[in-house]
Amino acid sequence: MRKTMKYASMLVAVIGFLAISCKKDKPKTVPSITTSAVTDITPTSAKGGGKITNNGGADITARGLVFSKTVAQPTIADDKTVETTSADEFQSMMNNLSSGAVYHVRAYATNSVGIGYGQVVDFTTGNAPPTATNVMITGTAEVNKTLTVSYTYADAENNAESGTIIQWYVANDGAGAGETAIAGATSLTFIIQAAQQGKYIRAGITPKAATGTTTGAEVKSGFVGAVGEATTVTFTYNGQTVTYGIINSAATGRKWLDRNLGAPNAPSAYNDYANYGDLFQWGRLADGHQLINRTGPADANMSAVNVGTTPYPGPYDLSSTDNPGHSKFILSPEYNSDWREPKNDNLWQGVNGINNPCPAGWRIATATEWAAENLGNLPSAYTKLKITLTGLHAGDDDGIYQSATNGLYWTSTIGTTFDYRAKRTAITTTATTQSETFRSNGHACRCIKD
């Protein structure tokens, strides 16, 4: 019995020794790990993860994700994340990714033996929307002036621009108080309206691409303003773009153009003959009949660009319509005294009146408006409104006469004493008077703001 127990004890000892020997001899390996599915994908980020299934017999010293757009089997030599958790299962965010790109990602774990990698999982980042940068406004913040917005379009996937939205805004101050979109203001240029005087203007750009993520976020420029009062008016006259200045009357507060229609420049004196302007028949369009050449101060230095028709009933008879359809100065017999038969008293009546030759928002002044200015004599009238001498284009014989003593200006007011007449303002070297005269005569026109 005692011998049997001795052999049993010896057997147990041998088995234990062998077990210990086997345990010490088992080799360590790199960790085993699996890669989780990729979620929360955006154009520039995504969430992935992994699960360590075997530490390889040694402590895990690092874990995370490795990823690449170009390497099919990424390693830690490529982009990677490093997680601080000690848990076998983990999640990790991949940031600063390129949009619209295919990425290859796999989990990794490191122990003292080496690095174990999980299987590769592919995913595609989202398509980034287009962007607008450098949104800027150029131009003068003044009524009737044009502002222009510019910007830089970009798209990470190089999707072409298509249908970008432009919107102009108006606000009460430079901080954007009461900001509202301006109806219909959706082009790259915007002409400031009188209603926006004293306000602040800016533009917003919403970039759009033809494909991919088609619409980006709106980006607004800084404000320009406050919008100032208009000091010039740009319009088309005789087929050319012209810019006239604006005079604010000290007497009435009304706004007048700084020269007669057709004058190339604001006059430098009341007898600056080169800037007297053209001579209109009352109620006619600026159709060319009014054009005058002036090379000096005498009658011989003046001539009509489009000479008159022969007297009635010549080849160009009196017009039966508001628009004769030609540029001739229409001569009329003195007994008729109008270029139109039958007459039309509705011509030149208001800013939307028939044949109004003035810029948009402007019109021929009435006799009452002329009288309210209290112009006095020519030197005084020039100081107040840059009034000049004008000359006269006679309505019955095509004579063009220069006067050294008066300027003759049409009003929009029809005559009341005689038929076929309208009122004119005459400013002489001694006084300002008003009278009625034949509508076929050619006089200067000066426009007033409505």
Same domain, 383 and 289: yes
For residue 65, being part of any structural domain is answered with: yes
Say if residue 316's pLDDT is above 70: no
Q: Could you tell me the pLDDT band of residue 309, with boundaries at 50, 70 and 90?
A: low
pLDDT per position as a tens digit, 398-428:
788 998 899 999 999 999 988 899 999 999 9
Same domain, 367 and 276: yes
For residue 320, being part of any structural domain is answered with: yes
pLDDT for res 324: 94
> In the predicted model, what is the mean pLDDT of residues 306-322?
73
Same domain, 336 and 248: yes
At which of 168, 190, 225 does a domain end?
225
Neighbouring C-beta atoms of residue 396, cutoff 10 Å:
18
- Mean pLDDT, the chain, rounded, equals 92
Which segments within 56-157 are labelled E, that is strand? 62-68, 79-80, 89-94, 102-110, 115-117, 121-124, 131-138, 146-154
Contact 103, 123 (CB under 8 A): yes
For residue 92, being part of any structural domain is answered with: yes
Q: Name the domain count of the chain.
A: 3
For residue 24, being part of any structural domain is answered with: no
Q: What is the pTM of this model?
A: 0.62
Say if residue 16's pLDDT is above 70: no
Same domain, 424 and 296: yes
* Partners of 354 in beta bridges: 347
Same domain, 216 and 250: no
pLDDT for res 313: 52
pLDDT per position as a tens digit, 166-187:
999 999 999 999 999 999 999 9
Calculate ∠ Cα 229-233-235, nearest 5°.
150
Q: Which CATH number goes with the domain that contains 97?
A: 2.60.40.10
pLDDT per position as a tens digit, 326-361:
999 998 877 668 999 999 999 999 999 999 999 999
Q: Is the peptide bond before 311 cis (omega within 30 degrees of 0)?
A: no
At which of 124, 159, 177 does a domain end?
124
pLDDT for res 14: 46
At which of 107, 124, 141 does a domain end?
124
For residue 12, being part of any structural domain is answered with: no
Identify which has the larger pLDDT, 161 or 399.
Answer: 161
- Find the domain containing 93 and state its range: 32-124
